[in-house]
Amino acid sequence: MSVFENVKENIDYVAKTMKLDEGEVELLKSPKRIVQVNFPVKMDNGRIRRFNGYRVQYNDARGPTKGGIRYHPKVDLGEVKSLAFWMALKCAVVGIPYGGAKGGIEVDPKGLSDRELESLSRAYVKSIHEIIGPTKDVPAPDVYTNPQIMAWMLDEYEKIRGEHSPGVITGKPIELGGSQGRGSATAQGGAFVLDEAARIQNLKPNKTSVVVQGFGNAGSYMAKIVSKMGYKITAVSDSKGGVLDEKGLDVGKVEKHKEKTGSVKDFVGAKNISNKELLELECDVLVPAALENQITKDNANKVEAEVIVELANGPTTPDADKILDKKGVMVVPDILANAGGVTVSYFEWVQNLYGYYWPAKEVHDKLEKIMRKAFGEVYSKSDEYKTNLRTGAWILAIEKIINAERARGNI
């Protein structure tokens, strides 16, 4: 089944629980605007190559659409539509005034020179500039796009418009209007919700072991932040493997080791383990922060954690979800757990619109308020409907979107 078929099935499931009518379900299953573009880029060898790109603006009832741009050879429309829908849910869960969008280009960016990457990014903006803008649709980085690419895109947009417009895109370098705290925002937001979940499960930080899969942007910041909060990080991993120390890892030293050797593996004093073993370790909290589909029907039964905080997008399959539910594992779903990133993107946009910039502490404190409140609201919603947190988060988000559509007279 394609990923968007899965999304529609999930919508049907939640719609039944919420008792939505046919018109509401149809609206939720229909992206508002799908743009597919094909554009030329002059390569370093002088040849012209053509690329396919997409931008899906799924729902804008609650505000301008918001969502990242992905560069990947396997980008396709079904994936972009699904990611755009999840963005609409994510923004609604944390209560920031955005709809959901996503974009992508079918390309292997690792095969391009810097000049080709810049030309590709500028050409994409030329193709979609009419439909983006600070009050229309605000892109951001996603897989294999970064602040430099956002800078090229901003520059191209501003050249076309003939004016400064930093609020058209987020995840920019600080010099071009990026926000303090954006780099660590996803992990920081995840740390706040982990802390809320631990409180509810009666887990005291210094007696709580945390295992993190993936030691990239999200995972390494998460390990550092949570360990600073007093939790014990017992295992971390990257694509090459993981390390375990039941007494607790010194995360700063693990990071230095990875910088030197390219992996967390072989960290002195710790035991090497595989990623498969890591997911099945005895621990209190498991944080998948790498890829999708990591906890499946094949290993869900072996998960020993009491709480899972989904920093990655889609790390748990629907089959695994059912098994974890039966085992009584609390799964803090991705649309809540990793929403810190888009929340600080929202702060960046607000600062751009005002032309007034906040210090790091202000960003941190505002993020904390939003994330802890969102956790409480998701928890109450799942309690009201007697469902798990994932369904609770979906219901909370869908209610907000439907209410906005109703207020506009669209349903």
Among all residues, which ones are annotated catalytic?
Answer: 102
| 239 contributes a contact to ligand NAD by CB under 6 A | yes
Piece of the chain touching ligand NAD by CB under 6 A; list 191-199, 231-239, 244-252, 359-367: 231-239
Q: How far is the CB of 126 from ligand NAD (least distance, A)?
A: 26
Beta-strand pair 99-106/209-213:
unpaired
Stretch that binds ligand NAD, among 28-36, 233-241, 323-331, 380-388 (CB under 6 A): 233-241
Least Å from the CB of residue 186 to ligand NAD: 4
180/186 with CB nearer ligand NAD: 186
Please state, in angstroms and rounded to a whole number, the distance separating the CA atoms of residues 308 and 325. Answer: 11
Indicate the residue whose CB is closest to ligand NAD. Answer: 216
CB of 244 vs ligand NAD, minimal distance in Å: 14
293 counts as binding ligand NAD under rule CB under 6 A: no
3-state per-residue secondary structure call for the chain: CCHHHHHHHHHHHHHHHHCCCHHHHHHHCCCCEEEEEEEEEECCCCCEEEEEEEEEEEECCCCCEEEEEEEECCCCHHHHHHHHHHHHHHHHHCCCCCEEEEEEEECCHHHCCHHHHHHHHHHHHHHHHHHCECCCEEEEECCCCCHHHHHHHHHHHHHHHCCCCHHHCCCCCHHHCCCCCCCCHHHHHHHHHHHHHHHHCCCCHHHCEEEEECCCHHHHHHHHHHHHCCCEEEEEEECCEEEECCCCCCHHHHHHHHHHHCCCCCCCCCEEECHHHHHCCCCCEEEECCCCCCECCCCHHHCCCCEEECCCCCCECHHHHHHHHHHCCEEECHHHHCCHHHHHHHHHHHHHHHCCCCCHHHHHHHHHHHHHHHHHHHHHHHHHHCCCHHHHHHHHHHHHHHHHHHHHCCC
Residue type, 161: R
Q: Does 214 bind ligand NAD (CB under 6 A)?
A: yes
Report the residue number, 184 or 352, with the smaller CB distance to ligand NAD: 184
| Residue 333 to residue 295: CA distance in whole angstroms | 13
Q: Give the residue, chosen from 216, 230, 269, 355, that forms a contact with ligand NAD under the rule CB under 6 A.
A: 216
Closest CB 380 distance from ligand NAD, rounded Å: 24
If one asks whether residue 338 binds ligand NAD (CB under 6 A), the answer comes out as yes
Told to check if 311 binds ligand NAD by CB under 6 A, we report: yes
Report the nearest approach of ligand NAD to the CB of residue 279 (Å): 9
> Does position 289 bind ligand NAD by CB under 6 A?
yes
From candidates 160, 176, 291, 350, binder to ligand NAD by CB under 6 A: 291
Should residue 312 be labelled a site residue for ligand NAD when binding is judged by CB under 6 A?
Answer: yes
Q: Per CB under 6 A, does 341 bind ligand NAD?
A: yes
Interface with ligand NAD (CB under 6 A), residue from 80, 120, 218, 251: 218
Nearest approach, Cβ of 386 to ligand NAD (angstroms)? Answer: 28
CB of 185 to ligand NAD, least distance (A): 7
Assess contact for 47 and 82: CB atoms under 8 A: no
Asked if residue 58 binds ligand NAD (CB under 6 A), the reply is no
Name the residue nearer to ligand NAD (CB basis): 122 or 177. Answer: 177
238: contact with ligand NAD by CB under 6 A: yes
By the rule CB under 6 A, 286 interacts with ligand NAD:
no
Interface region with ligand NAD, contact rule CB under 6 A, candidates 48-56, 124-132, 283-291, 376-384 = 283-291
**Residue of the chain from 54, 215, 346, 379 that contacts ligand NAD (CB under 6 A):** 215
Q: Residue 100 pairs with which residues in a beta bridge?
A: 59, 66
Which residues contribute to the site for ligand NAD (CB under 6 A)? 186, 213-219, 237-239, 275, 289-291, 311-313, 338, 341
